[in-house]
């Protein structure tokens, strides 16, 4: 582990946006009392969603929202990396390519032609990819959107000079900690909680919904065992593929498993019926 | 448990009059929690009246599966254990254990806010009473003061229940922890038809029963009644030992505990650990629902100013990578090694550490495992292919 | 047993003694000794450890390297994690909490009249230093004392400035390094090589060892091969800990709690578990 020296007394903070819905930036603005604490402790020098105050870098901490989806994005993220001492990607788009990475299974050109009257004016890449596929990233905060508590933990850690604590466990730990009844066990709803990185506090299962995996794969996820159990208990493969391809479809473990299930489904459907 | 842990003969209490028990507990200053239907399961939550209890509900449990079903004939306590246990209250998932504020170049301790009210829990079963005794052995040591647990434990009032039904995941009979409620309860109830037989296990329980008597009618049981009351859990125990399915009830699990410490410690390199790891998600659910698992981490949580820090205790699980984390990586990097740690600790190492098994046969780890891994089957597999010389 | 002795009150694992950092002595690259003043005597036995608690950062289990009767409590620490890096940034006067001492010490009283071989690898010498000084004070109670020290490079060898004093106390010191620098007069290799070349009578010798776990496994195996009884070999293990009091469960090693049953174990107690991968 590298040592993180404590930040200067009032570190300079910048927030950048790429292909995204702005929801993670809104989480920061929605931090309410904690936002005031943050503004007290940091100088917010670039955060266009929040303020017209816009001072040039270099910055001590850069928070980057969104995925890389255009040629201009590629150039800009390299420039930003050079401006930020500690670069943090925030959210499913920045850390995994986001929901827009569904395009990676299709043709971006076909989409552009279907959506835009003059697609030739649209400069886009064929894929949506995470920031870390382009520049080195010092830390990542997952989720769609990110969790305010984790963001404050990150900023606190920067202030006191330690590694931010992001638990290396799955969502189930948070469900059990808040006393949520497991939706998979008690209702038979296929849930990605056991293979998804914690951090949300077990939000969706607490609202009687399955985990959609928006924090991406947890450490050492055993996807084959979990999807196999769901399949044996009646969930069709195509539903499992859709579950894996939602908020972080391009994250390695989820992508590999959805591709495996899709191939298995195709092979099964190709078999001649008796 | 064949002999009763009661200190007096049972007395009859009409079911609606169980309200008097709740009222007497509230009058004595307790927060009363008990079984309630919520989110598709029977959980432990605040109970204000008899109607809050899950009469008419049964739970079907199996590996990775829990379903409630309506059964008008089911009594208030004919469900078995749900996802919660006493652990959720006495050793909560997160709690502050100390707070410090900066004082010049050093730090000064701030007192903790005490719990608002002592707790009374309704419907505690034999397995969970045994689990309470096991957690007591961990947290109530003479040489170490775990003040938060100790404080809550001192105020705890337990209304136990003698089981008359077992789920397919139950194996308390194998662990000698049930189905009769063993020692440790203040009051115990046995449900028969439209009445409860209620009896005291402690002087605290007897005092509460005296308060109940001022609010409702308690009728002494005859010797024949008492024998019938005692036979309720004993009949269930005989059936559990028989391992036969009955109409509407799958046979319960069972675990052969013969020589189990040496069996497991003698098979640490058994290939079956890797076979389990093919299925195990290392999600930690088994440890989190286990009523005896006590591992915890303590995080220093500073506020953003850096001038105040809270030591926060959090449940830990031997299935997570940070459990045994050290510089250069933890000692158990594989799921096989972490499952082995859990099972050998629970069933073998615990005996060295505390003189008892860490398992009470409640079956929660089987039900709430998302892929239905069954420790009784895994132990049986290792026993069947015992690799000891 | 004195029946009139009043049992000490239970100790809270979360509350330590306030202590002030007195000074910091660099020992090796990334390693320093931090001396703390607790405002009074701090009683411990060599081989025990403290949870060094920096509020807001965390706590880490660190063996006590100072002499049992020293005016200050010394911890020799390599900066590798959150707590140890934060410690490295503290200035003299800063306040911390020392939670301890915890754990089973080196069995020095049981070693009277015996020959002792101390084997240290890297920062493992920190735990043995306290024992070395304690033994030096009662030198007449012991037979031959040999100290074998291994390190990666000559600059990594701790407490070299104290060697002359230890030699004067009739402790025979031998050093070896993995990666010798230019001008290194000693041998190159592993500390087990030193043990292989050491002449000792296994019947009257006890071996105390502290260092990385693979090194301790090798030393214990070599000691056994040379005829030492498993009950005469003592190892100091390291595990993750939150409480150090046998409550948190994080430090389990087989059926033991390293914090309470150890950190010093006789080899016979842990040999079957030490041999198992990923335990």
CA C178 to chain centre: 21
Nearest CA in chain B to A225: B279
Tokens describing residue B250: 């799958």
Which of A140, A160, A180 is at the close of a domain?
Answer: A160
- pLDDT tens for residues A100-134? 999 999 999 998 899 999 999 989 999 999 999 99
Nearest CA in chain A to C83: A162
Q: What is the mean pLDDT of residues A149-166?
A: 84
User: What is the CATH classification number for the domain harbouring A115?
Assistant: 3.40.50.700
Report how many Cβ contacts below 8 Å link chain B to chain C.
Answer: 134
Instruction: Measure the CA–CA gap between B156 and C212, rounded to whole angstroms.
Output: 46
Chosen from A9, A13, A182, A217 to mutate, greatest number of chain B CBs within 10 A: A182
Q: What is the mean pLDDT of residues C25-50?
A: 95
Residues A187 and A154 placed together within one structural domain of the fold: no
CA distance B149 to chain C (A): 11
Across the interface, whether the CB atoms of B295 and C250 are under 8 A apart is answered yes
A32 in any annotated domain:
yes
Across the interface, whether the CB atoms of B142 and C14 are under 8 A apart is answered no
Chosen from B37, B40, B276 to mutate, greatest number of chain A CBs within 10 A: B40
- pLDDT tens for residues B142-185? 899 888 899 999 999 999 999 999 999 999 999 999 999 989 99
A143 in any annotated domain:
yes
Band the pLDDT of A2: cuts 50, 70, 90: very low
Band the pLDDT of A65: cuts 50, 70, 90: very high
Given CB atoms, is A8 within the 8 Å cutoff of chain C?
Answer: no
Given CB atoms, is A161 within the 8 Å cutoff of chain B?
Answer: no
Cα–Cα distances in Å, from B197 out to B159, B193, C50?
Answer: 12, 10, 53
For residues C225 and C258, is the Cβ–Cβ distance under 8 A? no
CA distance A148 to chain C (A): 19
Residues A257 and A140 placed together within one structural domain of the fold: no
Band the pLDDT of A5: cuts 50, 70, 90: low
Of C56, C57, C79, Cβ closest to residue A3 = C79
Nearest CA in chain A to B307: A160
Record the pTM. 0.94
Which residues 4-33 of chain C have a CB within 8 Å of chain B?
A: 7-15, 18, 20
The predicted structure's pLDDT at residue C151: 94
Tokens describing residue B33: 């929690």
Residues A91 and A46 placed together within one structural domain of the fold: yes
> Which comes out higher in pLDDT, residue B66 or C2?
B66
For residues C36 and C21, is the Cβ–Cβ distance under 8 A? yes
Question: Highest-confidence range of A163-172, A238-247, B241-250, by mean pLDDT?
Answer: A238-247
The subunits that touch chain C, with at least 3 C-beta pairs less than 8 Å apart, are: A, B
Instruction: Measure the CA–CA gap between A246 and A213, rounded to whole angstroms.
Output: 8
Band the pLDDT of B1: cuts 50, 70, 90: very low
Residue A1 has pLDDT above 50, yes or no: no
Number of Cβ within a 10 Å radius of residue C71? 13
Per-residue buried b or exposed e for C131-161, using 16+ beta carbons within 10 Å of the residue's own CB: bbbbbbeeeeebebbbbbbbbeebebbbbee
Across the interface, whether the CB atoms of A160 and C86 are under 8 A apart is answered yes
The percentage of residues in chain B with a pLDDT greater than 70, rounded to a whole number, is: 99
Residues A191 and A82 placed together within one structural domain of the fold: no
Side-by-side strand order, sheet with B219-220: B41-46, B31-38, B119-124, B157-161, B187-192, B195-200, B11-14, B219-220
State whether ipTM is beyond 0.90. yes
- pLDDT tens for residues A198-221? 999 999 999 999 999 999 999 999
For residues A95 and A216, is the Cβ–Cβ distance under 8 A? yes
For residues B298 and B97, is the Cβ–Cβ distance under 8 A? yes
The predicted structure's pLDDT at residue B112: 85
Residues A143 and A255 placed together within one structural domain of the fold: no
Which residues 70-109 of chain A have a CB within 8 Å of chain C?
A: none
Domain with residues C17-102, CATH architecture: Beta Barrel (2.40)
- Beta partners for C37? C20
Residue B329 has pLDDT above 60, yes or no: yes
Report chain B residues whose CB lies below 8 A from the CB of A152: 304
Number of Cβ within a 10 Å radius of residue C40? 8
> Which comes out higher in pLDDT, residue B114 or B3?
B114
Band the pLDDT of A193: cuts 50, 70, 90: very high
Given CB atoms, is A168 within the 8 Å cutoff of chain C?
Answer: no
- pLDDT tens for residues B185-228? 999 999 999 999 999 999 999 999 999 999 999 999 999 999 99
Given CB atoms, is B323 within the 8 Å cutoff of chain A?
Answer: no
Residues A144 and A31 placed together within one structural domain of the fold: yes
Across the interface, whether the CB atoms of A191 and B306 are under 8 A apart is answered no
Report chain C residues whose CB lies below 8 A from the CB of B265: 254-255, 272
Residues A134 and A18 placed together within one structural domain of the fold: yes
Given CB atoms, is C276 within the 8 Å cutoff of chain B?
Answer: yes
Residues A135 and A189 placed together within one structural domain of the fold: no
Q: What is the mean pLDDT of residues C253-266?
A: 97
Domain definitions of chain C by residue range: 17-102, 108-274
Residues A149 and A90 placed together within one structural domain of the fold: yes
- The domain in which residue A179 lies consists of 171-270
Which of A138, A160, A182 is at the close of a domain?
Answer: A160
C108-274 belongs to CATH 3.30.230.10? no
Instruction: Measure the CA–CA gap between C226 and C156, rounded to whole angstroms.
Output: 28
Residues A106 and A56 placed together within one structural domain of the fold: yes
Number of Cβ within a 10 Å radius of residue A50? 15
Residues A132 and A260 placed together within one structural domain of the fold: no
A5 in any annotated domain:
no
The predicted structure's pLDDT at residue B327: 77
A53-67, B13-27, C3-17, C33-47, range with the lowest pLDDT:
C3-17
Tokens describing residue A60: 């001590």
Residues A98 and A25 placed together within one structural domain of the fold: yes
Which residues 248-277 of chain B have a CB within 8 Å of chain C?
A: 265, 268-269
Instruction: Measure the CA–CA gap between C128 and C135, rounded to whole angstroms.
Output: 10
Across the interface, whether the CB atoms of A161 and C58 are under 8 A apart is answered no
Nearest CA in chain A to C85: A3
Which residues 1-20 of chain B have a CB within 8 Å of chain C?
A: none
CA distance A1 to chain C (A): 7
Report chain B residues whose CB lies below 8 A from the CB of A176: 83, 93, 284-285, 288-289, 315
Instruction: Measure the CA–CA gap between B367 and A78, rounded to whole angstroms.
Output: 50
The predicted structure's pLDDT at residue B2: 39
Instruction: Measure the CA–CA gap between B287 and B341, rounded to whole angstroms.
Output: 11
Across the interface, whether the CB atoms of B107 and C279 are under 8 A apart is answered no
Residue B21 has pLDDT above 60, yes or no: yes
For residues A30 and A36, is the Cβ–Cβ distance under 8 A? no
Average pLDDT, chain A: 92
The predicted structure's pLDDT at residue C2: 39
Given CB atoms, is C82 within the 8 Å cutoff of chain A?
Answer: yes
For residues C26 and C79, is the Cβ–Cβ distance under 8 A? no
Of A160, A169, A185, Cβ closest to residue B302 = A160
Counting the structural domains of chain A, the total is: 2
């Amino acid at each position: 582990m590298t040592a993180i020296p404590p930040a200067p007394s009032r570190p300079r903070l910048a927030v950048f946006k790429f292909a995204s819905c702005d929801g993670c930036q809104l989480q920061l603005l929605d931090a309410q009392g904690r936002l005031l604490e943050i503004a007290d402790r940091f100088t917010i020098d670039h955060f266009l969603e929040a303020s017209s105050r816009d001072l040039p870098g270099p910055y001590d901490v850069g928070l980057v929202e969104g995925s890389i989806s255009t040629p201009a994005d590629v150039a800009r993220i390299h420039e930003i990396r050079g401006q930020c001492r500690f670069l943090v990607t925030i959210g499913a788009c920045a850390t995994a390519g986001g929901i827009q990475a569904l395009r990676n299974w299709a043709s971006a050109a076909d989409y552009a032609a279907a959506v835009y009257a003059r697609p030739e004016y649209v400069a886009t890449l064929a894929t949506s990819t995470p920031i870390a596929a382009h520049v080195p990233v010092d830390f990542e905060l997952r989720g769609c959107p990110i969790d305010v508590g984790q963001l404050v933990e990150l900023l606190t850690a920067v202030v006191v000079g330690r590694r931010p604590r992001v638990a290396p466990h799955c969502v189930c730990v948070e469900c059990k900690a808040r006393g949520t009844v497991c939706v998979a066990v008690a209702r038979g709803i296929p849930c990605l909680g056991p293979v998804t990185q914690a951090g949300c506090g077990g939000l969706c299962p607490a609202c009687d919904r399955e985990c959609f995996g928006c924090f991406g794969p947890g450490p050492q996820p055993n996807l084959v065992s979990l999807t196999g159990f769901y399949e044996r208990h009646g969930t069709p493969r195509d539903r499992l593929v859709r579950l894996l391809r939602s908020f972080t479809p391009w994250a390695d473990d989820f992508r590999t498993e959805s591709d495996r299930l899709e191939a298995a489904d195709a092979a099964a459907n190709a078999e001649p019926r008796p | 448990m064949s002999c009763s842990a009661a200190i007096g003969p049972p007395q009859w209490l009409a079911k609606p009059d169980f309200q008097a028990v709740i009222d007497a507990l509230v009058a004595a200053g307790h927060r009363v929690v008990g079984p309630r239907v919520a989110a598709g399961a029977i959980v432990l939550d605040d109970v204000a009246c008899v109607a809050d209890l899950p009469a008419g509900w049964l739970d079907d449990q199996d590996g990775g599966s829990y379903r409630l079903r309506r059964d008008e004939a089911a009594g208030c306590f004919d469900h078995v254990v749900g996802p919660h246990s006493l652990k959720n209250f006495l050793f909560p998932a997160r709690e502050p254990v100390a707070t410090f504020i900066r004082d010049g170049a050093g730090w000064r301790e701030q007192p903790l806010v005490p719990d608002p009210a002592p707790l009374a829990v309704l419907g505690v079963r034999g397995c969970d009473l045994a689990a309470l005794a096991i957690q007591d052995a961990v947290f109530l040591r003479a040489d170490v003061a775990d003040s938060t647990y100790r404080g809550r434990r001192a105020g705890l009032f337990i209304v136990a229940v003698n089981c008359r039904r077992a789920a397919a995941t139950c194996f308390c009979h194998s662990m000698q922890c049930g189905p009769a409620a063993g020692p440790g309860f203040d009051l115990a109830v046995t449900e028969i038809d439209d009445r409860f037989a209620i009896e005291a296990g402690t002087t605290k329980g007897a005092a509460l029963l005296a308060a109940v008597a001022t609010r409702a009618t308690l009728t002494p049981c005859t010797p024949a009644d008492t024998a019938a009351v005692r036979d309720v859990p004993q009949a269930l125990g005989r059936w559990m030992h028989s391992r036969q399915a009955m109409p509407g009830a799958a046979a319960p699990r069972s675990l052969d505990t013969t020589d189990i410490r040496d069996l497991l410690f003698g098979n640490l390199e058994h290939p079956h650990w890797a076979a389990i790891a093919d299925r195990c998600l290392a999600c930690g659910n088994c440890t989190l629902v286990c009523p005896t698992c006590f591992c915890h981490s303590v995080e220093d949580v500073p506020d953003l100013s850096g001038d105040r820090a809270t030591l926060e205790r959090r449940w830990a699980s031997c299935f997570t990578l940070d459990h045994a984390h050290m510089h250069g990586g933890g000692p158990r990097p594989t799921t096989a090694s972490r499952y082995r740690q859990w099972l050998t600790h629970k069933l073998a190492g615990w005996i060295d550490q505390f003189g008892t098994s860490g398992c009470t046969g409640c079956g929660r780890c089987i039900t709430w495992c998302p892929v239905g891994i069954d420790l009784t089957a895994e132990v049986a597999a290792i026993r069947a292919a015992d690799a000891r010389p | 047993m004195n029946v009139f002795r009043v049992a000490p009150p239970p100790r809270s694992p979360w509350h330590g003694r306030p202590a002030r950092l007195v000074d910091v002595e660099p020992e090796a690259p990334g390693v320093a000794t931090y001396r703390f003043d607790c405002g009074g005597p701090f009683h411990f036995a060599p081989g025990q450890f403290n949870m060094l608690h920096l509020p807001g950062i965390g706590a880490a289990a660190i063996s006590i390297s100072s002499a049992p009767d020293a005016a200050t409590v010394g911890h020799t620490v390599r900066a590798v994690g959150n707590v140890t890096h934060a410690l490295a940034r503290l200035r003299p006067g800063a306040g911390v909490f020392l939670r301890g001492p915890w754990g089973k010490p080196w069995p020095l009283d049981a070693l009277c009249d015996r020959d002792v071989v101390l084997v240290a690898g890297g920062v493992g010498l920190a735990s043995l230093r306290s024992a070395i000084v304690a033994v030096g004070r009662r030198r007449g109670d012991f037979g031959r004392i040999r100290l074998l020290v291994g390190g990666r490079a000559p600059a990594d060898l701790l407490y070299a400035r104290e060697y002359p004093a230890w030699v004067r106390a009739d402790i025979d010191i031998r050093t070896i390094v993995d990666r010798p620098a230019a001008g290194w007069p000693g041998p190159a290799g592993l500390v087990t090589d030193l043990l292989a070349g050491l002449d000792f009578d296994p019947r009257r010798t006890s071996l105390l060892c502290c260092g990385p776990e693979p090194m301790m496994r090798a030393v214990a195996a070599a000691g056994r091969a040379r005829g030492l009884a498993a009950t005469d070999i003592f190892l100091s293990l390291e595990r993750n800990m939150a409480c150090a009091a046998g409550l948190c469960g994080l430090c389990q090693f087989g059926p033991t709690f390293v914090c309470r049953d150890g950190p010093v174990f006789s080899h016979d107690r842990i040999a079957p578990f030490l041999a198992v991968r990923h335990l």
